[in-house]
C-alpha cells in the first residue's frame, strides 16, 4: 500500500483529552501525518498545540469539560472556526475512579460514565449530524481499553464504560457506514499515564503487570500513534467496528 494512503494532509482532527498522555500522543501522531489538530481538554492544551504547530500544521486548544453535554456544540464551532470542517474525531477523554466494587459510590459511577461513555456518544452524534447534512464522510476513533475485553478489579465504572465503548463503536459502524463514515476503536494496554500512576507506584501491581506484558514494558504515548493514523486514514476505508488492541501483547498472554 502506498505511503500516501496514510497521508492526512488537508484533514482536520478533533482529539478529546489531547493535552496529556495518550491523547497528546494521538494528537502529535496525527500532526506528523499532516492533519490539523484541535485538542479538547479541561485545561489548556498549550504544550500539545505548540508541538503540533512546530510540525507545520494548524492547531488549536479548546477548553471544555466533557462531564457535561453543554459544551458539545461550542467545541465543534470553535474547532471548525479555527481549522475548517472536522474530518476525524478521536474520542479519547477519560477518567477513572478506584474502589472495591462493594464500596463503590454512585457519584464515582456517574462521573466516569458521563465522561467515558455518554460524551463519546453525544459528541459523535453531533459531529455525524454535520457530516450527514454536508454529505461528507469522516472517521471516528474511540479509545476503549483492555477492560473492554476483561473485567479488571476495583474499577467497576471504568470497566462498564470501556465495555460500552467497544459495543457503541460497533453500533456506530452499523448505522453510519452507509454515510461514508468509519467508526473504530483502539484499546490501549498498560500505558505510563496519569490514569495508571497508582498502578505504576504500587510495586506489587506494577511487577505483576509487567510480568504479563510480552513486550516487557509499559506503553508510552508515542506507541499509540501508528494505530490511530491507520484508522484515521484512507488505508482503513474498509475497516469498520473493530477494537484494535495496542497492548504490547497483553491479550495474547
Looking at residue 220, which CATH number applies to its domain?
Answer: 3.40.50.720
Of 23, 18, 41, 152, the closest CA to residue 98 belongs to 152
151: in domain: yes
Catalytic residue among 13, 155, 158, 162: 158
The answer to whether residue 158 is catalytic is yes
Structural domain contains residue 253? no
250 in any annotated domain:
no
Q: Going edge to edge, which strands form the sheet with 88-91?
A: 59-63, 36-41, 12-16, 88-91, 138-143, 181-188, 243-246
Task: Using a pLDDT cut of 90, give the percent of the chain over it.
Answer: 92
User: What does the pLDDT look like over 86-113, one tens digit per residue?
Assistant: 999 999 999 999 999 999 999 999 999 9
The mean pLDDT of the chain is 96
Give me the mean pLDDT over the 184-207 stretch. Answer: 90
Given a cut of 90, whether residue 18 has pLDDT beyond it is yes
Q: What is the pLDDT of residue 162?
A: 98
Task: Report the pLDDT value the prediction gives residue 193, as an integer from 0 to 100.
Answer: 83
Task: Report whether pLDDT(170) > 90.
Answer: yes
Are 247 and 188 in contact by the 8 Å Cβ rule? The answer is yes
Decide if 59 is inside a domain: yes
Q: Please write the tens of the pLDDT for every residue from 108-160.
A: 999 999 999 999 999 999 999 999 999 999 999 999 999 999 999 999 999 99
Task: Give domain status of residue 186, yes or no.
Answer: yes
**Which residues, 6 or more positions from 40, have their beta carbon under 8 angstroms from its beta carbon?**
14, 15, 16, 17, 18, 62, 63, 64, 66, 75, 79, 93
CA angle 108, 90, 130 (to 5 degrees): 110
Could you report the per-residue pLDDT of 36-45, keeping only the tens digit for each?
Answer: 999 999 999 9
Residue 108 falls inside a structural domain? yes
Using the predicted structure, report yes or no on whether residue 1 has a pLDDT greater than 70: no
**Cα distance between residue 206 and residue 210, in whole Å:** 6
252 in any annotated domain: no
Using one digit for the tens of pLDDT, what is the confidence trace for 207-247?
Answer: 999 999 999 999 998 899 999 999 999 999 999 999 999 99
CA nearest to 97, candidates 88, 105, 89: 105
Prediction pTM value? 0.95
Task: Classify 244 as helix, strand or coil.
Answer: strand
Domain assignment of residue 239, yes or no: yes
Portion of the chain with pLDDT greater than 70, in percent: 99
Count of structural domains within the chain: 1
Domain that holds residue 75: 3-244
pLDDT of residue 194: 80
Confidence of residue 3 (pLDDT cuts 50, 70, 90): low
For residue 58, pLDDT beyond 80:
yes
pLDDT of residue 2: 66
Amino acid at each position: 500500500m502506498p505511503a500516501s494512503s496514510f497521508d492526512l494532509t488537508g484533514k482536520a482532527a478533533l482529539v478529546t483529552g489531547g493535552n496529556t498522555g495518550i491523547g497528546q500522543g494521538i494528537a502529535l501522531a496525527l500532526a506528523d501525518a499532516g492533519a490539523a489538530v484541535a485538542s479538547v481538554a479541561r485545561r489548556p492544551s498549550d504544550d500539545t498545540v505548540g508541538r503540533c504547530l512546530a510540525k507545520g500544521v494548524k492547531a488549536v486548544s479548546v477548553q471544555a469539560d466533557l462531564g457535561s453535554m453543554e459544551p458539545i456544540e461550542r467545541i465543534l464551532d470553535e474547532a471548525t472556526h479555527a481549522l475548517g470542517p472536522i474530518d476525524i474525531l478521536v474520542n479519547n477523554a477519560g477518567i477513572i475512579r478506584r474502589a472495591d466494587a462493594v464500596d463503590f459510590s454512585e457519584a464515582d459511577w456517574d462521573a466516569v460514565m458521563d465522561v467515558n461513555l455518554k460524551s463519546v456518544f453525544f459528541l459523535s452524534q453531533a459531529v455525524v449530524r454535520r457530516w450527514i447534512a454536508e454529505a461528507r464522510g469522516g472517521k471516528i476513533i474511540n479509545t476503549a481499553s483492555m477492560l473492554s475485553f476483561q473485567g479488571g478489579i476495583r474499577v467497576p465504572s471504568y470497566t462498564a464504560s470501556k465495555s460500552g465503548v467497544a459495543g457503541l463503536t460497533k453500533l456506530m459502524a452499523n448505522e453510519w457506514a452507509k454515510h461514508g463514515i468509519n467508526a473504530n476503536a483502539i484499546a490501549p494496554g498498560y500505558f505510563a499515564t496519569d490514569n495508571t500512576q497508582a498502578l505504576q507506584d504500587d510495586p506489587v501491581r506494577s511487577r505483576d503487570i509487567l510480568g504479563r506484558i510480552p513486550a516487557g514494558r509499559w506503553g508510552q504515548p508515542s506507541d499509540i500513534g501508528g494505530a490511530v493514523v491507520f484508522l484515521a486514514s484512507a488505508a482503513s476505508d474498509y475497516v469498520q467496528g473493530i477494537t484494535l488492541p495496542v497492548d504490547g501483547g497483553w491479550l495474547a498472554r
